[in-house]
Every structure is written in structure tokens, then in C-alpha cells.
Structure 1
């Protein structure tokens, strides 16, 4: 049911989900973990609880590709939209190959608002 919500595509970027897709909580469930040792080298973690467990409901899930879900993390959609928009500035500051490609006209920056795949579909259906 969830996988097919957007014809097997990520709710956020629109790419095909493939086999390693995630069920994203649109409104985050914040899981709390603790570190422990069991005698083996290093530490392990275990889940000890969750904040906002009410958000763990089927109507709060979206199918997401792994990169989108990991990037979104616990952000709200509006926070994540701002983070994504900030990637262009980070690339310009930190990636010489990006600046070189931009200098030679291979990249054209825009200030368009990030629109997620599910939003585009809703707009087109209206």
C-alpha cells in the first residue's frame, strides 16, 4: 500500500524507490537510544524509548528513497526544504569543481522554491 502510494516513486524526489526504500515519518518520531557494553569490543546501542509516539501512524508515513529519508532526518518539511535550498550555497563555497562548472555555464543556479514530488502531483491533479 505505502510503496504504491506514488506508483513506486519517492514522495519527495520522484525517483523510483527500488528495493531499499524507507517508510518516512513526515512528522518525526524521535527515538532515544543508549550506549551499552556486552563484553565484546566497543559499544552497542539499544532503543530505550521514543518521543512523539503518536506520530508512528500509517497516515504519517510517506514512501521515500534512502537518500531523501536520511537527508530529511527529523526535519519538518519546511525545515528540510530550507536545508535543501542551502545546498547550492554550500556547493558554491566548498566545491571548486562546482564553481568551475558554474563559471563555464554548465550549471545555472535558480532561486526556485523546492517542491516535493507529492506536492507536484497534487498541484497537477487540481
Structure 2
């Protein structure tokens, strides 16, 4: 089975997704306009290949408002894999970027490793 084609979303559906977290990216929490909105699949559409219900994957419950950078970086990651990838960034930057290492040496950048909590998780936590 191959990855299903992405469904074209109407403006009304896109607005509903945007409003899901009060015009904020579900991941980083930055404010979004309609023009900046990327509609992400919380469980990637790619998982249809592994037996996930396509009707759920293409439902409002699975649509997440996202900024371009979060959507691009998340790609086909699950939420937990995406979280782990973000948490690894200080080590990756330290390994791969002399600019980052230099900025750290001079105290211009200070890594603050911590567990990542996504914006949608904070919102849902506050609703409880």
C-alpha cells in the first residue's frame, strides 16, 4: 500500500484547524495567520501504510495547525520522535556547527536542555 494522496482542504476546514489552538502553532506556540498556516497531520498520513484508519488520519482530530518550520521539521515523525529530535538539537548543533560552538564558548548562546512540551499539550493540560 502506498501513502494516500493528501486531501485538498477547503478554506472552512483550514480556518477550523487554525482556530483549534486559537491561531497558534500546535507545536511551538507561535501566532499564525491564515496565510502562514500549514496543516499538519498529528499522526502522519504516511502511517496509512501501516494500517492506520485513513478516515481518522484525514479528520479534524488529526489535523494540527503548524508553522512552516515545525511542519517542515516534523515531516513524517510521530509526536514522540519529533520531541526527541528537538531535544537532541543542542548536541547536534555542538557536533556540527563551529558557529554554535564559538557562540557557546563566548556565552552568547547558552544551551538549556530540557524535556519539550508542545503548545497543544500545555493547552490540553490547562483544560483539565
Q: How much has 1:125 moved relative to structure 2?
A: 4.0
3-state SS, counterpart of residue 112 of structure 2: coil
What residue in structure 2 maps to residue 69 of structure 1? 71
In terms of fraction of residues, the more helix-rich structure is: 2
The TM-score, its normalising length taken from structure 2, stands at 0.75
Q: How does 1:71-86 map to 2 (within 5 A)?
A: 71-86=73-88
Shift of 1:58: 1.4
In the TM superposition, 1:1-126 aligns within 5 A as: 1-18=16-33, 19-30=35-46, 51=49, 52=52, 53-54=54-55, 55-126=57-128
The answer for unaligned runs of 5 or more in structure 2 is 1-15
Q: Distance in 2 between matches of 1:99 and 1:64?
A: 30
RMSD after superposition: 1.8
Gaps of 5+ in 1: 32-49
TM-score normalized by the length of structure 1 = 0.76
Report deviation, 1:56.
1.3
Q: Greater Rg, structure 1 or structure 2?
A: 1
SS at match of 1:111: coil
How many aligned positions are there? 108
| Alignment partner, residue 42 of structure 1 | none
